[in-house]
Amino acid sequence: MSLFDQVPAVPPDGTFALVEAYRADDHHLKVNLTPGIYRDENAKPWVLPSVKQARAALLADQSLNHDILPQLGHTQFLSAARQLAFKDTLDGRFVTSIQTISGTGANHFIASLLASHLHPKAVWIPDPTWDNHQGIWRHVDPGIERRTYPYYDENTFGIDGDALLSTLREQANPGDAIILHACAHNPTGVDPSPELWEGIAQVCEEKGLFPIFDLAYQGFATGDVDNDAWAVRHFTTRSSGNNNNNNTPLEFAVAQSFSKSFGLYSERVGALHVVARTRDGAAKVDGVLKRISRAEITSMPAFGARIVAAVLHDPVLEAQWRQDLKTMSGRLASMRKRLYEELVRRGTPGRWGHVLTDIGMFSMTGLSPEKVAAIKDRFHVYLLPNGRLSFTGLTEGNVEYVAESIYQIVVHQ
Are 152 and 81 in the same domain?
yes
Is residue 62 included in any domain, yes or no? no
Is residue 230 included in any domain, yes or no? yes
Structural domain containing residue 281: 75-313
**Mean pLDDT value of segment 285-300:** 95
Q: What is the residue type of 134?
A: Q
Residue 311 has pLDDT above 50, yes or no: yes
Is residue 25 included in any domain, yes or no? yes
**Catalytic residue positions, numbered:** 130, 214, 260
Are 240 and 190 in the same domain?
yes
Are 399 and 359 in the same domain?
yes
Place 239 in a pLDDT band, splitting at 50, 70 and 90: low
d(CA 319, CA 391): 25
Are 172 and 283 in the same domain?
yes
Weakest mean pLDDT among 37-41, 180-184, 319-323? 37-41
Are 87 and 28 in the same domain?
no
Residue 243 has pLDDT above 70, yes or no: no
Place 11 in a pLDDT band, splitting at 50, 70 and 90: confident
Peptide bond between residue 142 and the one before it cis (omega within 30 degrees of 0): no
Place 240 in a pLDDT band, splitting at 50, 70 and 90: very low
pLDDT of residue 249: 85
Q: Which residue, among 219, 287, 285, has the nearest Cα to 252 in the 3D structure?
A: 285
3-class DSSP state of 265 = coil
Inter-CA distances, 275 with 72, 78, 109, 241, 279, Å: 16, 14, 14, 18, 10
Residue 338 has pLDDT above 50, yes or no: yes
Place 132 in a pLDDT band, splitting at 50, 70 and 90: very high
288, 313, 338 — which closes off a domain? Answer: 313
Beta bridge partner(s), residue 390: 362
Q: What is the residue type of 129?
A: T
266, 282, 313 — which closes off a domain? Answer: 313
**What's this model's pTM, rounded to 2 decimal places?**
0.93
Q: How many domains does the chain have?
A: 2
For the domain that residue 277 is a member of, what is the CATH number? 3.40.640.10
Are 108 and 206 in the same domain?
yes
